[in-house]
Structure 1
């Protein structure tokens, strides 16, 4: 029986190991008492682990993974401090990750452009339009499209000021309140200069979840998937009510893409398809 004492909070990832345990436990409907029984943790220690990602007691992590349907070696890699390899700008010269914070939650937006036409698309807005406007000006871009991965507030908070700044920008989204002419459908393709953007439905974390797969990029990654909160580096978005649906969509839509693919999550660091296949314990 492998036992691990985990007393350092993870850094660099959106979710620590305790978050992963909590999301899987709640998604599967497993009680805290069941986890206490298989891990040997006290109730207090489990609550601390799920909340803070740290615990002073020993964890029997193999039976924990079996009970929560987590891949044991991949979960151990999270416990051991894995983070995705940092990516340099030359690896993805047509993509900018723009992180904004409301004072408590950081969220990512992504600006993607065609190098010849300088046409650009924005994926989600984050909290603040200013860094988006600055990047558009610095790169000499024309903002053509705004694609929304899902309508949770942190992902669309800056939509109104951005639509005032760029009134010709075309909105594409899914779900309640989106006008029919702006609704995206499964497999719908959009052109951005020489780039091709395909909309793929990934409900689970959100009922209106969309992943946008971009083909034709230069650099190390000819393909990128803007995934919203469907999947994070080493984890996935919370999907208590639709856990199995969320996992199924991630497997079929995201993890089945060809290599190499850059994965651009709504929170946390950039990652790659290869790294998620090797380290994400949910799969």
Structure 2
């Protein structure tokens, strides 16, 4: 079981940094003491304080409290036809990469490389898959660490958003659609965590997938390093408007769904 990428203190920190709120200003706006805020941020989940700071940070109260109490983890979906999820080590963390394929023709696409692509290459060989595309969600080091090795091994071109180009990749404009046998892959810009972050919505198979990189996680989202407001807007308007049963494949942490994140993600759940 892959742990959640973020705990409730991470969520508070990301929102606080995104809104450029110091501890003293956040405490003042929430009408709590700096000492009370410090305790919460150090891992003491005090309900009364969390309820006060949540609206100031633009976070859903119940979702934040549930996360703080360890009450949220997305449903385990077991084996999903046409999808392999790889979780590999990169320095002091783990990172996800994915292999999606048409189960009838075995034509496949890779999404990011993770910190080590050995397991992915083994799966390609064992299942007799033919990789047609390599897609990058963004170009942070943990997501592209094995790009050279992967390209050499599978002989497929690598595609990257034109807003975030790196050597050895082919540029494309977000909105471009790709065909993978019976599967359709639609790209759309979900920047905010990075300048050219892209998500890929895959339909035509037994399940709908969206490969999102670090745009959104189960119970959290990637930090708005490039633009916090754009990150929030893109997640709300482009990812969470997809059908509820769409499986979200994030860059870190476990798989989730659009429906689950609309209810349980503190950044987006306000009921």
Q: TM-score if structure 2 supplies the norm length?
A: 0.91
Query: Could you tell me which residue of structure 2 aligns to residue 211 of structure 1?
Result: 199
Cα 1:48–1:103, aligned 2, differ >3 Å: closer, same or farther? farther
Q: What is the SS of the residue equivalent to 2:178?
A: strand
Query: Could you tell me which residue of structure 1 aligns to residue 57 of structure 2?
Result: 68
Distance 1:199 1:241 in 2: 20
1:85 aligns with 2:98: no
Cα 1:105–1:180, aligned 2, differ >3 Å: closer, same or farther? closer
1:170 aligns with 2:157: yes
Residues 27, 241 of structure 1: 8 Å contact kept: no
1:280 aligns with 2:265: yes
C-alpha displacement of 1:160: 0.8
Distance 1:16 1:181 in 2: 34
Distance 1:48 1:160 in 2: 45
Residues 26, 240 of structure 1: 8 Å contact kept: no
Cα 1:113–1:46, aligned 2, differ >3 Å: closer, same or farther? same
Task: Describe the superposition over 1:120-177 as per-residue Cα deviations: whole angstroms up to 9, x where unpaired.
Answer: 100000111211111111211011110000000000000011111122x021111343
Of 103, 111, 115, which residue of structure 1 is paired with 2:99? 111
Distance 2:142 2:176 in 1: 25
Residues 164, 195 of structure 2: 8 Å contact kept: no
Q: What is the SS of the residue equivalent to 1:83?
A: coil
Of 156, 163, 166, which residue of structure 1 is paired with 2:144? 156
Q: What is the SS of the residue equivalent to 1:236?
A: coil
Map 1:1-283 → 2, pairs under 5 A? 12-37=3-28, 38=30, 40=32, 42-43=34-35, 46=37, 49-50=40-41, 54-55=43-44, 59-81=48-70, 82-89=72-79, 92-167=80-155, 169-174=156-161, 175-178=163-166, 182-218=170-206, 222-283=207-268
Q: What is the SS of the residue equivalent to 1:19?
A: helix
RMSD over aligned CA atoms reads 2.1
Cα 1:39–1:117, aligned 2, differ >3 Å: closer, same or farther? farther
Distance 1:201 1:232 in 2: 17
Q: How many residues align?
A: 264
Q: What is the SS of the residue equivalent to 2:73?
A: coil
Residues 184, 199 of structure 1: 8 Å contact kept: no
Task: Describe the superposition over 1:243-273 as per-residue Cα deviations: whole angstroms up to 9, x where unpaired.
Answer: 1111111111100112310000000000011
Q: What is the SS of the residue equivalent to 1:99?
A: strand
Query: Could you tell me which residue of structure 2 aligns to residue 5 of structure 1?
Result: none
Distance 1:47 1:152 in 2: 31
Q: TM-score if structure 1 supplies the norm length?
A: 0.87
Gaps of 5+ in 2: none
Cα 1:259–1:133, aligned 2, differ >3 Å: closer, same or farther? same
Gaps of 5+ in 1: 1-10
C-alpha displacement of 1:179: 7.1
